[in-house]
Structure 1
Amino acid sequence: MTDGHSLVVPVNGLSTHAWVRGQGQPVVIVPGLGCASWMYARLARELARERRVFVYDPPGHGYSEGVRHYPVCISHLTDHLAAWLTRLNLQGVPLLGHSLGGEVIIDLAARYPHLSSALIACAPTGIPENPSVRMQLLRLLRDLPLERPGLLMPGLKAYVHCGVRRMVKLARDQEDHMTGPLLGRVTVPTLLLDGLSDLVIRSWTVRRIQSDIPDAVIRQIPGAPHGLTDTHPKAVASFTLEFLRQQGL
């Protein structure tokens, strides 16, 4: 990222990084599994036209510190995000999560209801649709040719930094994590963004999540693969900003 600045603070003993750009009311971007802040530069640029954007690096991801035993499950990611939001006095801001980041923000809204005012979940994981880590990998490989070529090297850099062991443990924890009762505890306005060319998270999965979150709405983006935040940043930003204006946020 060339605009904005890095912000590093200690959270639970770990140096935690976020990239900050723009002015106005804040919105926080939470990356997907193994992903890093630099992979969301195109989306952050679009959102920063109207908002102050914080692109958060979860522990063990991007420029944030992690340790061997942490994080290795989704509750670790959620608890750290909650502590980071509190540390920066960002309680009650809108949260935008991509893929596993979408699952994390939904989990946070259910378990820490005071910490978010709205959710935008882009291609969210969250139900046991993927029966194994192997199946998830196969779907990601099929989706890869649909992604923007310019994301390949930044993505590989992020995955290498996160590490195979951590990514596998987090992926395995997805299989039984999200349940109907948990989704039903989400009370903030929720927007689900569905890429119609996504081979990883299918449209029926997004509809299933919608059925369990009261009053959640879906917006579809034609031609968008799993990495819709990078391939279609203008559409994601447009739906996000429109949704937040409708909610008076």
Structure 2
Amino acid sequence: MRGQPTYLTVNGLRTHAWKRGRGAPLVIVPGLGCASWMYARLARELARERTVFVYDPPGHGDSEGRSDYPVCIEHLTDHLAQWLQAAGLSGSPVFGHSLGGEVMFDLAARHPSLSPALIACAPTGIPENPSVRLQLLRLLRDLPRERPGLLWPGLRAYRRCGGRRMLLLARDQEAHMTGPLLPQVRVPTLLIDGAADPVIQTWTVERISSDIEGAIVWQIPGAPHGLTDTHPRAVAQLTLEFLRMVGV
């Protein structure tokens, strides 16, 4: 990924984010097991108008983790909150993909002063999230729909995160009560739905939108779960239009 790597020590861990572009800041939070380099195509499009920070959660990408941290979603949320403050990015809009969307909802509910607007792309975040086994089956259905060029970067990211950590975080989705937190999200929120996504289906996005007052849903036809990579221009256009609309 072109750009400038940045490092901060947060909760004793060296934490990485790529910085690219110029203008008002926007933070990207990756999905489960994903890494900053998997969002290079989206960051390039967003950087036309924004300074984009593609954050690596602890134990993901180029950020350090520990065997016991992070192993649950609240660990991810609290680390993100600490990193935003340490990076001087409090008050910046946050873009979350997949599990990154769930982390972002948790952040907005429990740390409401940290972000004035949210963009959630194919987000998890309701108690009805399927079992880990069903999620894996849906991911297998989704693989042929993704761009072949994402395969190696994705495998590299998953190997870096590790199967144990990914399994613990995926299992925590079943216990993580984001659902009751969703009505506590009181900032402008955009939900981007991939119409061809078998992992996070349209009904899930609609359910999340019904629990967040004023949430907007925009759908991208033909887009799979990895729409940040397959449809980066469309996702960026919707994101930038939304941020202009809400004045952030």
Hey, what's the Cα distance between the residues in 1 that align with 2:119 and 2:174?
A: 22
Q: Given that residues 210 and 218 in structure 1 are in contact (C-alpha distance below 8 angstroms), is that contact kept between their aligned partners in structure 2?
A: yes
Q: Given that residues 45 and 232 in structure 2 are in contact (C-alpha distance below 8 angstroms), is that contact kept between their aligned partners in structure 1?
A: yes
Query: Could you state the TM-score of these two structures normalised by the residue count of structure 1?
Result: 0.98
Is 1:219 the counterpart of 2:195? The answer is: no
- The Cα shift of 1:176 comes to 2.7
- The Cα shift of 1:225 comes to 0.2
Q: Given that residues 30 and 100 in structure 2 are in contact (C-alpha distance below 8 angstroms), is that contact kept between their aligned partners in structure 1?
A: yes
Which aligned pairs between 1:220-235 and structure 2 lie closer than 5 A?
Answer: 220-235=219-234
Q: Given that residues 127 and 176 in structure 1 are in contact (C-alpha distance below 8 angstroms), is that contact kept between their aligned partners in structure 2?
A: no
Hey, what's the Cα distance between the residues in 2 that align with 1:222 and 1:125?
A: 19
Over 3 Å counting, the alpha-carbon distance change for 1:179 and 1:71 in structure 2 is closer
Counterpart for residue 18 of structure 1: 17
Q: Given that residues 15 and 63 in structure 2 are in contact (C-alpha distance below 8 angstroms), is that contact kept between their aligned partners in structure 1?
A: yes
- The Cα shift of 1:179 comes to 4.0
Is 1:87 the counterpart of 2:94? The answer is: no
Is 1:208 the counterpart of 2:207? The answer is: yes
Counterpart for residue 41 of structure 1: 40
Name the % identity.
74
Counterpart for residue 115 of structure 1: 114
Q: Given that residues 127 and 179 in structure 2 are in contact (C-alpha distance below 8 angstroms), is that contact kept between their aligned partners in structure 1?
A: no
Letter in 1 for 2:100: G
Letter in 2 for 1:73: C
Letter in 2 for 1:111: R
Letter in 2 for 1:218: V
Hey, what's the Cα distance between the residues in 2 that align with 1:51 and 1:125?
A: 25
Hey, what's the Cα distance between the residues in 2 that align with 1:121 and 1:35?
A: 15
Is 1:241 the counterpart of 2:217? The answer is: no
Q: Which runs of 5+ in 1 are unaligned?
A: none
Report which stretch shifted further, 37-46 or 128-137: 128-137
Counterpart for residue 141 of structure 1: 140
- After superposition, what is the alpha-carbon deviation per residue over 1:168-215, rounded to whole angstroms, capped at 9, x for unaligned? 000011113134430000001000000000000000000000000010
Q: Which runs of 5+ in 2 are unaligned?
A: none
Which aligned pairs between 1:194-205 and structure 2 lie closer than 5 A?
Answer: 194-205=193-204
Over 3 Å counting, the alpha-carbon distance change for 1:37 and 1:179 in structure 2 is closer
Cα RMSD, aligned residues only? 0.7
- The Cα shift of 1:89 comes to 1.0
Hey, what's the Cα distance between the residues in 2 that align with 1:218 and 1:195?
A: 11
Hey, what's the Cα distance between the residues in 1 that align with 2:133 and 2:162?
A: 16
Q: Given that residues 105 and 178 in structure 2 are in contact (C-alpha distance below 8 angstroms), is that contact kept between their aligned partners in structure 1?
A: no
Over 3 Å counting, the alpha-carbon distance change for 1:105 and 1:224 in structure 2 is same
Hey, what's the Cα distance between the residues in 2 that align with 1:229 and 1:127?
A: 21
Query: Could you state the TM-score of these two structures normalised by the residue count of structure 2?
Result: 0.99
Counterpart for residue 161 of structure 1: 160
Hey, what's the Cα distance between the residues in 2 that align with 1:42 and 1:160?
A: 21
